[in-house]
């Protein structure tokens, strides 16, 4: 170990002591100094080792280009595992690393204590590396193109997992998909605009019966249960008509999918469930880490030059971006504000219980909205126009964008549509229409997984439409009419 | 000291994963380019600037599709540097990706903008295009009549012309000799004696140049318009560049004809229009004479390509057929292209179909993006 590494090591230990002294509670951390190439690779893949897909290459290229052009820079990357892995950019200066190390400890504290992370596997590095091996084996066996086809399709719907039933310390099952066949009269419970995700039939509340049944199977790992006994478990709720977990439904019921293809779907599903909590705690977690690195730095003995450099770097991190919202900035502002009126214990409690959605809903105050000059805007004609600046409307609009991780909610209504084995999906419209080009393309991708035709019900400009993809051709018709396509 | 904090540094030079997948992404981009090849190779910005400009193509197919909200219909939240009031204009939609869907831009650094606009240079296009083309009947043995010899200096001898003295080797010999003799003291000047001299010598070798000539023939009768000329120009543009890959020298001669044929400059060939009827045999006759005079088939790879709208004088067809047969015999490939806006095939085309020699490649172009297929038909 050379001198620089020794110094860094001592520094990391010292800062850990300071941070723990201030109350942060984090897993052991393995810091790894890596060159920009490696750091940006991990940033693009989200993990040091992950399966191969061109979309990661595209992301890597973009991030790397930004770095090469000096447009943006990642200083660190933290992996939510135990022990946690933190990657520091080679060439960070000592003072930069001081700040970054403090930032890392706060992230790991958040991962360890926040409720939404309680069920993420702590050995995800190894799991994802095993996934990568498995997928590589499929590539050898079935050819890269075939694997890529499946992957393209699965990645397009990777967000549509039932992450809500994967929250909390409970050692219980996911709710079970049941092959759904509807009678016409029985049709679904949530209608158009009224659906808020709370409609009866919503899976999370329906599966209590099955949960109780499986509780005694005391499961050691929160995911192992998924693939064995629970998949075969019978769901007892007859009224259950919607199923949230599209990927699980496909694994279970897709008529034409081979085992290895199902395995790919399940791999993506597992990784998606792992990443979901990070997506829904971006603002609060970045804010928390930024809040703490500033706090820790004030505890350290810095020289004047270091203090100045720290101030410059910190202000870069929390720079408000033009019109967009910098999560670091918004997050740290709320935490700063909360720190003024709450005790440190109360702050620690908030970091356990809140995610972005609740954090904004509960703590974005009138004063903050006004101080930060927040406003709502939308497209009016050819212009982007400010529409509202009342604090409650701003807050509610932010909340709305955070619902479901910012993704539209798509549920399975039926697995034997029109008696021809079609998959019938429904977009629970919550006020915003879908991007139609994307909808059509995604639908053909889902169809390639499902094998038979796939339909999706949604609302466009106030009218209910059914989009259907069969044989890779998408047609559209007004719902209610049973015959005749009005457009293709 | 806490022992659960570890700082480590490994060698990451072999970590190439990002690059590998980036390569795959690039391949996908190329696949898209290939699909659009027909449109791209007739792009004016490439043909009319002689390949100096690049062309931009939006690549929707490389987007990562998912169910997502319509960005343009969404209510967004932003942050300003000052207080903003309802009605303030933030920006204009830049209209990128206009038409269906449209990736919203406008308000600056908004997410969801995923148009991947690839810049395709002439080289990129050429590489992808030429990968698919090949040169049938390639004959490397053909040489020009006077295969001029080329001297090649490849040996060193003790005797030779003083003008060819090899200074470096001579000096080396001198140093070597004096080092062996040991009589000189160290400061003595280096002397070159006659036995140190070394001379470069050469061997003569015949020069293996392969030559090709393109005989660009075009109907310039009244019925050939801008479109027809542009199509043939595009075809020749790529053809010349492709042949240059295979041959050291590619010559190009331009023959224009209506009822009579004459040789013209490149500029005249593509710009000047004439009128009158069409007698294709005239240009075939002219080409055969030219070949006989200047391009003996034993030494040249000959590529005559003829573009016309096929509207030949009926009485000329038999004559044209005979001459075409002769032309096919002496050439590597003969291209005959009819640029047609109607769906009728001309009588000349059906006459020429009687020639069964595979060296004659017949193509019909009805739309600009068929140039690509025509190139593939001729060079396959």
Domain residue spans of chain B: 16-66+117-132, 149-206, 211-378
Provide mean pLDDT across the span B159-175: 88
Record the tokens describing residue A137, joined without a space.
Answer: 């084996």
Query: Using an 8 Å Cβ cutoff, are A83 and A29 in contact?
Result: yes
Residue B141 CB contacts under 8 Å (≥ 6 apart), including other chains: none
Size of interface A-B (CB pairs under 8 A): 249
Residue A483 CB contacts under 8 Å (≥ 6 apart), including other chains: none
Tell which B residues from 36 to 95 touch A, by Cβ distance under 8 Å.
Answer: 60, 62-93, 95
- Between CA B117 and CA B102 the distance in angstroms is 13
Please name the residue of chain A whose CA is at the shortest distance from the CA of residue B11.
A34
Q: Which pLDDT belongs to residue A209? A: 40
Tell which A residues from 376 to 405 touch B, by Cβ distance under 8 Å.
Answer: 376-379, 382-389, 394, 397-398, 400-401
The neighbouring-strand residues paired with A427 are A410
pLDDT digits (tens, 9 = 90+) for A33-55: 999 888 988 999 999 889 999 88
Average pLDDT of the residues of chain B: 77
Q: Which pLDDT belongs to residue B187? A: 66
Neighboring chain A residues of B18 at a CB cutoff of 8 Å? 37, 40-41, 44-45, 56-57, 60-61, 64
Band of the pLDDT at A379, cuts 50, 70, 90?
confident
Record the tokens describing residue A235, joined without a space.
Answer: 């769901």
Please name the residue of chain B whose CA is at the shortest distance from the CA of residue A32.
B8
- Between CA B203 and CA B207 the distance in angstroms is 12
User: How many CB atoms are located within 10 Å of the residue A345 CB?
Assistant: 9
- Per DSSP, the three-state class of A86 is strand
pLDDT digits (tens, 9 = 90+) for B190-225: 788 888 899 988 887 766 566 788 898 988 877 777
User: How many CB atoms are located within 10 Å of the residue A480 CB?
Assistant: 9
Most trustworthy range by pLDDT among A62-76, A338-352, B166-180: A338-352
Q: Give how far A211 is from chain B: nearest CA, Å.
A: 30
Least confident of A62-66, A289-293, B1-5, B37-41: B1-5
pLDDT digits (tens, 9 = 90+) for B225-254: 778 888 888 888 888 888 777 777 788 888
Is pLDDT above 60 for B108? no
Query: Using an 8 Å Cβ cutoff, are B352 and B328 in contact?
Result: no
Q: How many residues does chain B have?
A: 380
Nearest to A115 by CA among A402, A404, A358: A358
User: How many CB atoms are located within 10 Å of the residue B148 CB?
Assistant: 10
Neighboring chain B residues of A432 at a CB cutoff of 8 Å? 69-70, 73-75
Neighboring chain B residues of A379 at a CB cutoff of 8 Å? 72-73, 93, 104, 106
Q: How many residues does chain A have?
A: 488
Neighboring chain B residues of A441 at a CB cutoff of 8 Å? 63, 65
Query: Using an 8 Å Cβ cutoff, are B6 and A31 in contact?
Result: yes
pLDDT digits (tens, 9 = 90+) for B291-324: 998 888 887 888 899 988 877 887 888 888 899 9
Most trustworthy range by pLDDT among A220-229, A457-466, B106-115, B358-367: A457-466
Neighboring chain A residues of B95 at a CB cutoff of 8 Å? 382
Gyration radius of chain B's alpha carbons: 33
Provide mean pLDDT across the span A221-237: 43
Q: Which pLDDT belongs to residue A91? A: 85
Record the tokens describing residue B7, joined without a space.
Answer: 């700082």
The neighbouring-strand residues paired with A87 are A32, A77
pLDDT digits (tens, 9 = 90+) for A179-191: 777 654 444 444 3
- Between CA A109 and CA A80 the distance in angstroms is 10
Transcribe A131-155 into DSSP letters.
Answer: HHHHHHHHHHHH-HHHHHHHHHHHH
Query: Using an 8 Å Cβ cutoff, are A387 and B86 in contact?
Result: yes
Q: Give how far A165 is from chain B: nearest CA, Å.
A: 21
Band of the pLDDT at A214, cuts 50, 70, 90?
very low
Q: Give how far A48 is from chain B: nearest CA, Å.
A: 10
- Per DSSP, the three-state class of B326 is helix
Q: Give how far A414 is from chain B: nearest CA, Å.
A: 18
Q: Which pLDDT belongs to residue A100? A: 92
pLDDT digits (tens, 9 = 90+) for A417-471: 888 889 999 999 988 999 998 999 999 999 999 998 999 999 999 999 999 998 8
Contact A8/B21, CB-based, under 8 Å? no
Most trustworthy range by pLDDT among A37-46, A63-72, A324-333, B83-92: A37-46
**Beta strand spans in chain B (E):** 5-9, 55-58, 76-79, 89-92, 117-120, 149-157, 199-206, 211-219, 249-257, 261-264, 301-308, 334-339, 360-365
Q: Which pLDDT belongs to residue A368? A: 92
Longest CA pairwise span in chain A (Å): 77
Provide mean pLDDT across the span B271-292: 85
C-alpha distance across the termini of chain A, in Å: 66
Q: In terms of DSSP H, where are the helices of B59-140?
A: 122-132
- Cα B77 to the center of its chain, rounded Å: 50
Contact B109/A323, CB-based, under 8 Å? yes
User: How many CB atoms are located within 10 Å of the residue B100 CB?
Assistant: 10
Yes or no: is domain B211-378 CATH 1.10.287.3510?
Answer: no
Q: Give how far B45 is from chain A: nearest CA, Å.
A: 27
- Between CA A253 and CA A80 the distance in angstroms is 32
Q: b/e map of B68-89 (b: 16 or more CB within 10 Å)?
A: bbbbbbbbbbbbbeeebeeebe
Contact A373/B71, CB-based, under 8 Å? no
Please name the residue of chain A whose CA is at the shortest distance from the CA of residue B111.
A324
Q: Give how far A215 is from chain B: nearest CA, Å.
A: 34
In this prediction, what percent of chain A has a pLDDT beyond 90? 53
Q: B154: burial class by Cβ within 10 Å (0-12, 13-18, 19+)?
A: exposed
pLDDT digits (tens, 9 = 90+) for A105-161: 999 999 999 999 988 999 999 999 999 999 999 999 999 999 999 999 999 999 999
Tell which A residues from 181 to 240 touch B, by Cβ distance under 8 Å.
Answer: none
What letter does residue B152 receive in the DSSP assignment? E
**ipTM for the complex shown:** 0.80
Contact B85/A323, CB-based, under 8 Å? no
Query: Using an 8 Å Cβ cutoff, are B370 and B335 in contact?
Result: no
Interface mutation target, options A83, A435, A456, chain B, most CBs of B under 10 Å:
A435
Which of B8, B27, B70 is the closest to A432 by Cβ? Answer: B70
Which of A41, A160, A326 is the closest to B15 by Cβ? Answer: A41
Strands B211-219 and B199-206, bridge-based pairing: unpaired
Strands B301-308 and B211-219, bridge-based pairing: parallel
Q: Which pLDDT belongs to residue A219? A: 42
Neighboring chain A residues of B60 at a CB cutoff of 8 Å? 437
Is pLDDT above 80 for A401? yes
Is pLDDT above 80 for A70? no
pLDDT digits (tens, 9 = 90+) for A285-304: 999 999 999 999 988 888 88
Q: Which pLDDT belongs to residue B343? A: 61
Record the tokens describing residue A173, joined without a space.
Answer: 């099952």
Nearest to A334 by CA among A282, A283, A397: A283
Please name the residue of chain B whose CA is at the shortest distance from the CA of residue A324.
B78
B191 in contact with chain A, both atoms CB, cutoff 8 A: no
Q: Which pLDDT belongs to residue B145? A: 46
- Between CA B121 and CA A422 the distance in angstroms is 45
Is pLDDT above 70 for B346? no
A428 in contact with chain B, both atoms CB, cutoff 8 A: no
Please name the residue of chain A whose CA is at the shortest distance from the CA of residue B105.
A384
Contact B67/A410, CB-based, under 8 Å? yes
Record the tokens describing residue A103, joined without a space.
Answer: 């930032």
Band of the pLDDT at A235, cuts 50, 70, 90?
very low
Neighboring chain A residues of B69 at a CB cutoff of 8 Å? 408, 432-435
Interface mutation target, options A57, A322, A434, chain B, most CBs of B under 10 Å:
A57
Q: Which pLDDT belongs to residue B157? A: 87
- Between CA B191 and CA B198 the distance in angstroms is 15
Least confident of A4-13, A172-181, B66-75: A172-181
In which residue are the tokens 């810091």 written?
A31
Sign of CA dihedral A38, A42, A43, A44: positive
Q: Which pLDDT belongs to residue A176? A: 63
Contact A56/B5, CB-based, under 8 Å? no
Q: Which pLDDT belongs to residue B56? A: 62
Average pLDDT of the residues of chain A: 83
């Amino acid at each position: 170990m050379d001198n620089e590494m020794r110094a860094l090591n001592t520094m990391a230990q010292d800062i850990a002591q300071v941070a723990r002294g201030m109350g942060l509670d984090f897993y052991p951390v393995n810091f790894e100094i890596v060159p920009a190439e490696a750091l940006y690779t991990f940033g693009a893949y989200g993990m040091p080792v992950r399966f191969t897909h061109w979309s990661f290459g595209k992301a890597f290229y973009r991030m790397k280009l930004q770095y090469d052009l000096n447009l943006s820079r990642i200083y660190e990357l933290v992996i939510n595992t135990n022990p946690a892995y933190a990657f520091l950019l080679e060439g960070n200066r000592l003072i930069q690393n001081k700040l970054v190390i403090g930032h890392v400890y706060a992230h790991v504290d958040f991962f360890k204590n926040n409720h939404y992370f309680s069920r993420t596997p702590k050995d995800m590095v190894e799991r994802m590396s095993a996934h990568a091996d498995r997928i590589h084996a499929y590539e050898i066996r079935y050819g890269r193109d075939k694997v890529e086809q499946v992957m393209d399709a699965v990645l397009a719907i990777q967000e549509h997992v039932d992450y809500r039933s994967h929250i909390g310390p409970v050692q219980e099952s996911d709710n079970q998909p049941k092959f759904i066949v509807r009678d016409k009269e029985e049709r679904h419970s949530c209608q158009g605009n009224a659906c808020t995700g709370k409609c009866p039939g919503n899976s999370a509340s329906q599966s209590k019966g099955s949960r109780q049944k499986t509780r005694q199977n005391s499961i050691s790992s929160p995911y192992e249960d998924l693939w064995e006994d629970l998949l075969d478990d019978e769901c007892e709720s007859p009224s259950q008509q919607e199923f949230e977990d599209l990927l699980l439904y496909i694994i279970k019921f897709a008529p034409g999918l081979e085992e290895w293809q199902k395995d790919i779907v399940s791999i993506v599903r597992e990784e998606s469930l792992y990443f979901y909590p990070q997506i829904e705690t971006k603002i609060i977690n970045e804010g928390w880490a930024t809040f703490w690195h500033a706090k820790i730095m004030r505890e350290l003995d810095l020289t004047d030059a270091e203090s100045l450099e720290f101030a410059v770097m910190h202000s870069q991190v929390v720079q408000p971006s033009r019109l967009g919202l910098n999560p670091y900035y918004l997050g740290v502002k709320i935490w700063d504000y909360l720190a003024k009126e709450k005790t440190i214990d109360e702050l620690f409690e908030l970091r356990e219980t809140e995610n972005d959605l609740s954090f904004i809903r509960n703590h974005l105050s009138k004063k903050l909205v006004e101080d930060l000059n927040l406003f709502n805007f939308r497209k009016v004609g050819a212009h982007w126009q400010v529409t509202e600046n009342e604090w409650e409307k701003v807050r509610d609009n932010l909340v709305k964008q955070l619902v479901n991780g910012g993704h539209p909610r798509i549920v399975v209504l039926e697995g034997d549509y029109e008696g021809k084995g079609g998959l019938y999906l429904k977009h629970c419209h919550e006020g915003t229409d879908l991007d139609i080009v994307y909808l059509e393309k995604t639908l053909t991708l889902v169809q390639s997984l499902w094998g038979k035709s796939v339909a999706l019900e949604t609302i466009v400009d106030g009218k209910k439409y059914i989009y259907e993809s069969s044989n890779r051709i998408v047609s559209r018709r007004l719902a209610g009419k049973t015959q005749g396509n009005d457009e293709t | 000291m806490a022992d659960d904090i570890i700082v480590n540094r490994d060698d990451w030079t072999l970590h190439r994963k990002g690059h590998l997948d980036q390569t795959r992404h690039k391949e996908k981009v190329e696949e898209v380019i290939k699909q659009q090849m027909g449109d791209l190779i007739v792009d004016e910005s490439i043909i009319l600037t002689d390949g100096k400009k690049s062309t931009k193509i939006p690549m929707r197919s490389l987007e990562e599709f998912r169910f997502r909200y319509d960005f343009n219909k969404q209510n967004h939240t932003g942050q300003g540097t000052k207080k903003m009031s309802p009605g303030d204009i933030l920006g204009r939609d830049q209209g990128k990706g206009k038409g269906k869907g449209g990736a919203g831009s406008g308000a600056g650094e908004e997410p969801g903008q995923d148009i991947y606009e690839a810049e395709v240079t002439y080289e990129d296009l050429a590489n992808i295009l030429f990968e698919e083309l090949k040169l049938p009947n390639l004959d490397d043995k053909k040489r020009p009549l006077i295969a001029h010899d080329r001297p090649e200096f490849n040996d060193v001898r003790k005797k030779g012309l003083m003008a060819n003295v090899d200074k470096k080797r001579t000096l080396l010999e001198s140093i070597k000799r004096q080092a062996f003799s040991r009589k000189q003291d160290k400061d003595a000047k280096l002397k070159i004696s006659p036995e140190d001299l070394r001379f470069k010598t050469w061997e003569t070798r015949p020069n293996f140049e392969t030559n090709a000539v393109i005989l660009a023939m075009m109907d310039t009768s009244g019925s050939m318009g801008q479109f027809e000329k542009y199509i043939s120009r595009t075809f020749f543009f790529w053809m010349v560049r492709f042949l240059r890959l295979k041959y050291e020298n590619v010559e190009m001669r331009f023959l224009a004809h209506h009822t009579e044929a004459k040789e013209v400059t490149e500029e005249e060939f593509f710009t000047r229009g004439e009128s009158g009827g069409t007698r294709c045999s005239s240009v075939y006759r002219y080409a055969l004479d030219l070949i006989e005079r200047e391009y003996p088939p034993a030494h040249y790879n000959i590529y005559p390509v003829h573009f016309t709208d096929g509207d030949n004088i009926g009485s000329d067809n038999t004559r044209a057929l005979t001459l075409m047969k002769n032309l096919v015999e002496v050439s590597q490939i003969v291209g005959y292209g009819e640029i047609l806006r109607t769906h009728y095939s001309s009588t000349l085309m059906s006459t020429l179909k009687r020639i069964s020699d595979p060296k004659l490649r017949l193509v019909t172009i009805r739309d600009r993006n068929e140039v690509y297929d025509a190139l593939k038909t001729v060079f396959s």
